[in-house]
Structure 1
Amino acid sequence: MIRAVHAARLDRLFVAHTQSALGTGAGYVVLLLVVYQRFDSAWALSAILLAGFLPSMLFGPLLGAAVDRWPRRRCAIAADLIRATAFVGIGVIDSFAAMAAFAMLAGAGESLFRPAILAGIADSVSDDEGELAPVTSLYTAIEDLGITLGPAVAGVALLFIDPVGVLLLNGLTFGVSALLLVGVDLDRHRSKHHRELGRPTLLAATGESFRALRGLTRVNAVIVASSLALGFAAMINVAEVLLAKETLGAGDSGYSALVAVYGIGIVIGAALVSRVRLGGEMRILLGGILLFGLATIGSGLAAVLGVALITFTLAGAGEGLEGVSGRLILQRDVPGDLQGRVFAVKETAGSWGFGLAFAGGGALASLLDPGQVFLIAGFGAILVALATAIVLRRRAPREVAEVAG
Structure 2
Amino acid sequence: MKPFCFSSSDLKFLLRALHSRNYRLFFIGQGTSLIGTWMQQVAVSWLVYRLTGSALLLGVTGFASQFPTFLMAPVAGVMVDRWNKQRLFLATQLCAMLQSVMLAGFVLTGTIQVWQIILFSTFLGVVNAFDIPVRQALVIDLVERKEELSNAIALNSSMFNAARLIGPSIAGVLVASLGEGVCFAINAASYLAVILAITALRLTPPAKARARKHILHELREGFGYAYSFTPIRSLLILLALTCLMGMPYVVLLPIFAREILHGGAHTFGFLVAAVGIGALACTLYLASRRSVLGLDRIIAVSAGLFGVAVACFALSGTFFLSLAFLCLAGFASMAQIASSNTILQTVVDNDKRGRVMSFYTMAFMGSTPLGGLVAGIIATRIGARPTLIMGGLACLAGGIVFARHLPEFRRMVRPIYERLGVIPDAASSAGAEQAPDSNSNSKRSLR
TM-score range normalised by the length of the shorter chain: 0.7 to 0.9
SS in 1 for 2:250: helix
Give the one of 137, 147, 154 matched to 1:137: 154
Q: Deviation at 1:322? A: 0.9
**Distance in 1 of aligned mates of 2:121 and 2:318:** 38
CA offset at residue 56 of structure 1?
Answer: 0.5
Q: Is the 8 A contact 2:243 2:364 kept in 1?
A: yes
Shift of 1:34: 5.6
**1:336 aligned to 2:350?**
yes
- C-alpha RMSD of matched pairs (Å): 3.2
Distance 1:34 1:209, change over 3 A: same
User: How is 1:305-384 mapped onto 2 (pairs within 5 angstroms)?
Assistant: 305-368=319-382, 370-384=384-398
Deviations 1:55-89 (A, max 9, x none): 21211111121111112111111110111122223
Check whether the contact 2:65–2:369 (CA below 8 A) recurs between aligned residues: no
Structural mapping, 1:256-267, within 5 Å: 256-267=269-280
Indicate which of 130, 138, 142 corresponds to 1:120: 138
Structure 1 equivalent of residue 187 of structure 2:
170
Aligned to 2:234: 221
CA apart distance, 1:116: 1.4
Give the residue type in structure 1 aligned to 2:357: F
**Matched residue of 1:287: which SS?**
helix
1:388-403 mapped onto 2 (5 Å cutoff): 388-394=402-408
353 and 23 in structure 1: CA distance in 2 versus 1, 3 angstrom threshold: same
Letter in 2 for 1:170: N
Change (3 A) 1:34 1:198: same
Partners in 1 of 2:249 and 2:59 — Cα distance?
17
Amino acid at match of 1:110: N
Q: Which moved more, 1:11-20 or 1:280-289?
A: 280-289
State the distance in 2 between where 1:173 and 1:257 align: 22
Cα pair distance change 1:399/1:364, threshold 3 Å: same
- In the alignment, the residues of structure 2 paired with residue 367 and residue 158 of structure 1 have an alpha-carbon distance, to the nearest angstrom, of 29
Distance 2:299 2:145 in 1: 19
Correspondences of 1:59-74 after superposition (within 5 Å)? 59-74=72-87
CA contact (8 A) 2:172 2:268 kept: no
> SS of the counterpart of 1:214?
helix
1:282 aligns with 2:292: no
Query: Could you tell me which residue of structure 1 aligns to residue 39 of structure 2?
Result: 26
Letter of the 1:13 partner, please give it: F
Cα drift, residue 212 of structure 1: 1.4
Distance 1:233 1:271, change over 3 A: farther
1:20-59 equivalences in 2 (<5 Å):
20-32=33-45, 42=54, 47-59=60-72
Residues 136 and 328 in structure 1, CA contact (< 8 A), matched pair in contact too: yes
CA distance in 1, matches of 2:134, 2:362: 15
Matches of 1:257 and 1:57 in 2, distance apart?
29
Is 1:108 the equivalent of 2:122? no
SS in 1 for 2:293: coil
Aligned to 1:206: 219
CA drift of 1:265 comes to 0.7
Of 189, 206, 209 in structure 2, the residue corresponding to residue 191 of structure 1 is 206
Q: Which amino acid aligns with 1:217?
A: T
SS in 2 for 1:182: helix
- SS for the counterpart of 1:278 is coil
* Alignment of 1:89 onto 2:102: yes
Distance in 1, matches of 2:102 and 2:42, equals 17
Contact 1:272 1:321 in 2 (8 A): no
Contact 1:133–1:275, Cα closer than 8 Å, also in 2: no
Would the aligned equivalents of 2:161 and 2:276 in 1 still touch at CA under 8 Å?
yes
Q: TM-score, normalised by structure 2?
A: 0.77
Give the match for residue 283 of structure 2. Answer: 270
**SS of 2:405's equivalent?**
helix
Q: Is the 8 A contact 1:34 1:164 kept in 2?
A: no
Shift of residue 222, structure 1, vs aligned partner: 1.4
Aligned position for 1:179: 196
Structure 1 residues 170 and 233: CA distance shift in structure 2, 3 A: same
Q: Which runs of 5+ in 1 are unaligned?
A: none
Whole-Å separation in 2 of the counterparts to 1:107 and 1:246:
29
| 1:198 CA displacement | 1.1
> Contact 1:238/1:365 (CA < 8 Å) preserved in 2?
no
1:141/1:267 contact within 8 Å kept: yes
State yes or no: 1:151 paired with 2:168.
yes
Residues 371, 69 of structure 1: alpha-carbon distance in 2 compared, 3 angstrom cutoff: same
| Bigger mean CA offset, 348-357 vs 314-323 | 348-357
SS of corresponding position for 1:356: helix
Deviation at 1:213, TM superposition (A): 1.0
Q: Are the counterparts in 2 of residues 54 and 107 from structure 1 also a CA contact under 8 Å?
A: yes
C-alpha displacement of 1:103: 2.9
Find the aligned partners of 1:92 and 1:70 in 2 and give their Cα distance.
33
- Give the drift of 1:304: 4.3
Q: Distance in 2 between matches of 1:119 and 1:259?
A: 28
CA contact (8 A) 1:270 1:321 kept: yes
Query: Which piece of structure 1 moves more, 376-385 or 348-357?
Result: 348-357
